[in-house]
Amino acid sequence: MGIFSFLGKKDRQADTPESDRDASRRKPASEQARSSSARSPARNLQQRDAARATAEKIDAIESEMTSELGRSSSKSGSQNTLPPATSKPASPSTATGQPANSQPASTSALPRLDNTTAFGLDLKAGSVVVASSETHPAIEEAAVLFANEQNDLVEQMLLDAIHDPSLGEKSGMVWRMLFDLYQVMGKQDKFENLSIEFAAKFETSPPAWDDGRADLDNTVQPSASATPAITFSGKLDESIVKQLERAQKLSEKNGMLRLEFARVSEVLPEGCELLLATLKKLQKAGYELILVGAPELASKIRGIIETGRRDATDAPWLLLLEILQLLNREQEFEETSIDYCVTFEVSPPAFIAPKKVSTAVELPDLSQEAESEKFQMPAVIDVRSNAFNTITDYINRHEHAVLDCKNLIRVDFSAAGQLLSLMAPLTGQGKVIELCNVSYLVAALFQVIGLREVAQITLRKN
């Protein structure tokens, strides 16, 4: 097929024009009638001559280009030899590492990821390189099983996978995941045996055994006994709906709840109404409440109300009275209730001593870092963990939030989804989130759930 075959030129003799009879067969009768009445014999002859001339020009150009390509090919030698014109183009899967029917994801909407983000591995160079965006089934299944604490199944799956030729460039990732697994399980003998096999296969140094991390999965317990907490920060407005829904679910599951208000900067009537309704529900259900920063919240509510000024809603007044009651400040409650009665011309509410309510000072920032320091992730993150609140607080205070995962061993599957739900809106607000020193097992899980599309992920070096 010639170079211009895509233009529809068929194999034919250049000087053999299409006959009038052949052309008329393809035309409807009405068109033939119009053509015969509108064209003169001389005009038909001119058009045939023009068509013949055009075909000859195409053949000449095609011949010239073929000659040029031949001369270029002979000059460049074997290193730059062009494929024959009849060879088929490489399939998308061969050229890009992606299936033929897939389309590359748009990179304009994703954060800029450096060469430590994807999970291919250049073992000889000792660095991580960008690989295909797809996750191999063996990597995906092992990551999910590890997240669900099925370590024995993960070991067998990875042992089978390291010898699977279909893994290609992802083979290095599987080896590293197996090293991480033996480190977590404290199996140093198997780790050392794998190191010998690794060095022989890849002709490079294997990862080193870390005595400080050995069997850490068994020595660090998840924060199952920690009191679930909801931290309110910034504006107390209609945006707290999701936090209040989560507070209701946590209290139902645990029977107790910690509510932190110390970081509330502004109070609006809409937020007061929502919080008031939730507080009443929690008390009516008999759940145990721990309040942090409630006096500070009361002061901020006082700043938006005024005795004698009747606003559109009395929700801020009622929330203030509710908080004073929960704090067991009876005298202050009585004085405020009188002001409320005068302002809205209603009978003052009665004071009821709180039950199953206690107060606490604000916990120190668990990260204890300055603005330029990293947040240290805990060893285990699951759905019962209290880490989500401290992570959210840390990210809210930093435009470039760096979460150090050097101590992070395991993230269960549901918690990983919560991390994604937590981080996606924050990065949408322009914040940059980086998770550094991530183990290969945890990084594989982040790959599966799509977390690397909203956060920068840097793998552990050793």
pLDDT at 53 over 70: no
Q: Is position 64 within any domain?
A: yes
Residue 17 near residue 51 (C-beta atoms within 8 A): yes
Residue scoring higher pLDDT (25 or 348): 348
351 and 235 co-located in one domain: yes
pLDDT confidence bin for 7, thresholds 50/70/90: very low
CB-based burial label for 449 (10 Å; 0-12, 13-18, 19+): middle
Q: CATH number, domain at 422?
A: 3.30.750.24
pLDDT confidence bin for 91, thresholds 50/70/90: very low
Q: Is position 83 within any domain?
A: no
Q: Which helix (H) or strand (E) holds 435?
A: strand 432-438
Q: Is position 316 within any domain?
A: yes
130 and 152 co-located in one domain: yes
> Which of 219, 242, 262 is the C-terminal boundary of a domain?
219
Q: Global pTM? A: 0.44
Count of CB atoms situated within 10 Å of the CB of 56: 12
pLDDT tens, position by position, 237-295: 999 998 999 888 888 888 888 899 988 999 999 999 999 999 999 999 998 999 989 99
Cα first-last separation, the chain: 55
Please identify which residue in the block is written with the tokens 């607080």. Answer: 393
Q: How many CA atoms lie within 13 A of 330 on its CB side?
A: 5
pLDDT at 81 over 70: no
Q: Is position 328 within any domain?
A: yes
342 and 386 co-located in one domain: no
Residues contacting residue 172 through CB under 8 Å, at least 6 positions apart: 120, 121, 122, 123, 202
Number of structural domains found in the chain: 4
By residue range, what is the domain housing residue 285?
Answer: 229-360
383 and 354 co-located in one domain: no
pLDDT tens, position by position, 57-67: 556 655 555 45
pLDDT tens, position by position, 406-437: 889 999 999 999 999 999 999 888 889 999 99
Most confident by average pLDDT, 26-35, 43-52, 181-190: 181-190
pLDDT tens, position by position, 175-226: 999 999 999 999 999 999 999 999 998 888 999 988 766 444 433 333 333 5
Q: Is position 93 within any domain?
A: no
271 and 242 co-located in one domain: yes
Q: Is position 106 within any domain?
A: no
Q: How much of the chain exceeds pLDDT 90, in percent?
A: 39
Tokens of 407: 């101590």
Residue scoring higher pLDDT (236 or 11): 236
211 and 237 co-located in one domain: no
